[in-house]
Amino acid sequence: MGHHLRVDVRIRAPRVGVFDSGVGGISILKALRVAAPWLDLTYVADQAHCPYGDRPDHEIVDRAVAIVDFLVDHQADAVVVACNTATVAAVEELRRRYPIPVIGTEPPVKPAAALSTSGTVGVLATSGTLSGRKFARLVEDHANGVRVLTQPCPGLADRVETGDLEGPETRRLLSGFVEPLLEGGADVIVLGFTSIATVLAGTAMIPTFVLPRENSARENVLGTEDVLASVQIPAPRPGTRSTYHKVLDREAWTHAVVSAAIVLEMDQDVCRSARVVLGGVAPIPWRLPEVERLLAGQRMTPDLALKAAEASIVGARPLGKNAYKVPLTKGVVRRTLAGLSGLA
């Protein structure tokens, strides 16, 4: 008579410890839960020592080691440092001490630089993150020539820890941090610490309109349940010149056949930065980042205005009966640039 051996094999879910100085890292915890719902997650909020941003590195390292000791004692298979400041100060020491994977977080400068069309991005973070060598290397390695403006955010983490996510003081702080970056020409803003992601969980300041090359079928990036509550337009910087030029058909005065809206930030005869948008050539306003990059940093001359006008029609694909708009567009861009820079 045969014998049967029964073997029960139980495989436990991977255990991942996540920690931050406070509740800000919960935004990363939620993202992990969505991306990998099978993980056994443990979260530690070191609120007794929050925020980390103003503490010296050696204190942050001591706190990080104490927390990871606790997580390892509870059989963590990996640790996520859900704090940019702790990553800068402690992640190398943690990786040296522990045989398990230690994953840090850092401001996403590389994707921000790739998204920018103005050549300027802003970073909101703690002073500890911004002053660290790791952040300096991050910018050096991944900014790819894009100008990076930095803005420390003192006091914001404290507001989050007290639960004040939408109060007037929190909004005042946030506006005070964001406005200098917008005034500096940043068209992409990096959220460089988890507390600010918590503040913006329900509301956000976003660039409303998308570039046509991203999705020509959409006019904005609002979701189906989003409501546009306000529009903020930064005050123009000194030396800013702007105009709107349109070509009309005599029999249809209401709609432009072709139009151009151009903003130049000038330093005497040198264009610091430019915004160039065409109308009447696509279903939605058509921004020309290539032309903007061509103009930035250059002395305005008739030859440069002509080169920019020629660049504005590169890749133009007219329909059967509107090929006449191509030379019209070139002429509008050249004349508008000449007029703005005093060359007309």
* Count of C-beta atoms within a 10 Å radius of residue 89: 25
pLDDT at 188: 84
How many degrees, rounded to 5, is the angle at CA 133 between CA 132 and CA 134?
90
Residues 337 and 344: their CA atoms lie apart, in Å, by 9
Q: pTM of the prediction?
A: 0.55
Q: Which helix (H) or strand (E) covers residue 60, if one does?
A: helix 57-73
Q: How confident is the model at residue 12 (pLDDT cuts 50, 70, 90)?
A: confident
Helix (H) or strand (E) holding 245: strand 240-249
The alpha helices in 107-167, defined as continuous H runs, are 109-115, 127-130, 133-142, 156-161
Q: What is the mean pLDDT of residues 27-36?
A: 88
Confidence of residue 247 (pLDDT cuts 50, 70, 90): confident
Q: Which residues contact 180 (CB under 8 A, 6 or more apart)?
A: 149, 151
pLDDT in tens, 131-174: 878 889 889 988 888 999 999 888 877 777 676 666 778 778 88
Please tell me whether residue 47 adopts helix, strand or coil conformation.
Answer: helix
What confidence score (pLDDT) does residue 177 get?
A: 86
Residue 213 has pLDDT above 70, yes or no: no
The dihedral over CA atoms of 170, 173, 178, 183, expressed in degrees to the nearest 10, equals 140
Lowest mean pLDDT among 76-90, 118-132, 187-201, 237-251: 187-201
Share of residues in the chain with pLDDT > 70 (%): 82
Domains and CATH numbers, the chain: 15-103 (3.40.50.1860), 109-199 (3.40.50.1860), 240-340 (3.30.390.50)
State whether residue 219 is helix, strand or coil.
coil
DSSP string, 171-196: HHHHHHHHHHHHHTT-SEEEE-SHHH
DSSP code of 251? T
Report whether 124 contacts 178 (CB < 8 A).
Answer: yes
Secondary structure (3-state) at 214:
coil
Which residues, including other chains, have CB under 8 Å from residue 42's CB and lie 6 or more apart?
15, 16, 17, 18, 71, 74, 76
Separation between Cα atoms, residue 80 and residue 186, nearest integer Å: 30
